[in-house]
Amino acid sequence: MHKKNTVFLRTFGCQMNIRDSEVISGLLQKAGYRISATDQDADIIIFNTCSVRKHAEDRVWSLIGSYKGSKVIGLVGCMAQNYKEQAFQRDPHISFVVGPQDIHKLPVIIEKILGDNLFSDKNLLERKIWETAGDLRPEEIYHMDFYQDKNHAHVVISEGCSNFCSYCVVPYVRGALRHRKHKDILIEIREVIARGVTKVTLLGQNVNAYQDSQVNFTKLLEQVNALSGLKEFDFFTSHPKDAGVDFFKAIRDLEKLVKRLHLPLQSGSDKILKLMNRGYQAKDYLSLIDSYRKIVKSGRLTTDIIVGFPTETDAEFNQTYALVKKARFNAAYIFKYSSRPGTEAAKIIDPLKQAELEQRHRKILNLQRSISQELRSSQVDAKK
């Protein structure tokens, strides 16, 4: 056992990756490694990566290149699953490639590499790492007692996604939707409460599709709300096609649950929503948020929008613009479409001119900024 080796983890992407990095840190610490806050004293650098946007991937390749083989480099997470053995061709300094479903194997993989010869260029590929795609990860990995924040813990309730939105790599890199057992989730939350945590965020790519035998997401929210010692909790992220009245009533009635909903819209055009494979139309979305606002009176509402999806015309962009104006979100994450190899959307050849993409992005960003500002000011006025 190489107890003295030091690992630095660099994390990119969503909350799920941040939580995965905590899990990896806990696993490696338990195996005798030291986790460092900087790369300077580390022998092993692990990049826990995101493939949702090309820009994030480019940054990782450039950072890996900057080490020029001076450290043992591991590519972990979504890029690992996406590039598989091509990662070794792309940068021969990479020593191991481990997809998100296989992070529990990291202590064994690293042990094997260090055993081979630290800093040798004899790269190891754990060739079976993709065979488990689709299985739930071992439950023990969620009980490694490693959380960055003393007061706030992120707890995974489901892994993967089966929605196959046409622009998204998540179902390919994280596998089909799998649910953790509700009893295990509650055990983990009790554990974090016992170590002093008072706030919990439940995590999944599509939390409101949660189902474990008779326990659906609304039931799970009720069970979490009932845990003594917990002061506040929330969840991230929901899908409109799985949202409904019971879910909104739970947000209203459960006193510890934060009165906030993040409900990604993506587009206000029915044609684009269909091409995106989102499973709803603009009118469904509007009636859903109308119902949310009637039930959760002062609840916050936030969303995600993608502009410049292939074949999006000016008229279709204007439908999104009009919907954002009507919906009056408290905040919105507005993304420029980024083509991801392997997805259905990447097969649609219609590159929008960059200038046009920038212009649409700016236009809707400005609209949302002014709406967010107005809503903030009206809340301040209401408090006076």
What are the residues binding ligand SF4 (CB under 6 A)?
161, 163-165, 168, 170-171, 205-206, 239
CA distance 121 to 93: 7
| Nearest distance, CB of residue 52 and ligand SF4, angstroms | 8
Per the omega criterion (within 30 degrees of 0), is the bond before 6 cis? no
| Nearest distance, CB of residue 297 and ligand SF4, angstroms | 28
Residue 36 or 277 with smaller CB distance to ligand SF4: 277
Q: Using CB atoms within 10 Å of the CB of residue 35, give its burial: 0 to 12 exposed, 13 to 18 middle, 19+ buried.
A: middle
Residue 239 or 262 with smaller CB distance to ligand SF4: 239
Cβ atoms of residues 191 and 143 within 8 Å: yes
The residues with which 155 forms a beta bridge, in sequence order, are: 202
Residue 277 or 291 with smaller CB distance to ligand SF4: 277
Half-sphere exposure of 324 (CA within 13 A, CB side): 32
Residue 191 or 344 with smaller CB distance to ligand SF4: 344
| Nearest distance, CB of residue 278 and ligand SF4, angstroms | 8
Report phi then psi at 217, rounded to 5. Answer: -65, -40
| Nearest distance, CB of residue 169 and ligand SF4, angstroms | 8
Exposure letters 62-96 (e unless 16+ CB within 10 A, then b): eebeeeeeebbbbbbbbbbbbbeeebbeebebbbb
DSSP per residue, 149-189: -SSEEEEE-EE------TT--HHHHH-S-EE--HHHHHHHH
Residue 147 or 247 with smaller CB distance to ligand SF4: 247
Residue 170 or 224 with smaller CB distance to ligand SF4: 170
| Nearest distance, CB of residue 206 and ligand SF4, angstroms | 5
Phi-psi region of 210 (alpha: psi -120 to 50; beta: other; left: phi over 0): beta
Exposure letters 181-210 (e unless 16+ CB within 10 A, then b): ebebbbebbebbbeeebbbbbbbbbbbbbb
Phi-psi region of 69 (alpha: psi -120 to 50; beta: other; left: phi over 0): left
CA distance 77 to 75: 7
Residue 177 or 327 with smaller CB distance to ligand SF4: 177
| Nearest distance, CB of residue 272 and ligand SF4, angstroms | 14
| Nearest distance, CB of residue 320 and ligand SF4, angstroms | 16
Which strand (E) or helix (H) includes residue 117? helix 106-117
Per-residue H/E/C for 15-35? HHHHHHHHHHHHHHHHCCCEE
Residue 25 or 267 with smaller CB distance to ligand SF4: 267
Residue 164 or 236 with smaller CB distance to ligand SF4: 164
| Nearest distance, CB of residue 207 and ligand SF4, angstroms | 10
Residue 142 or 167 with smaller CB distance to ligand SF4: 167
Cβ atoms of residues 229 and 252 within 8 Å: no
> What is the CA angle 35-37-42, rounded to 5?
60
| Nearest distance, CB of residue 167 and ligand SF4, angstroms | 7
| Nearest distance, CB of residue 137 and ligand SF4, angstroms | 17
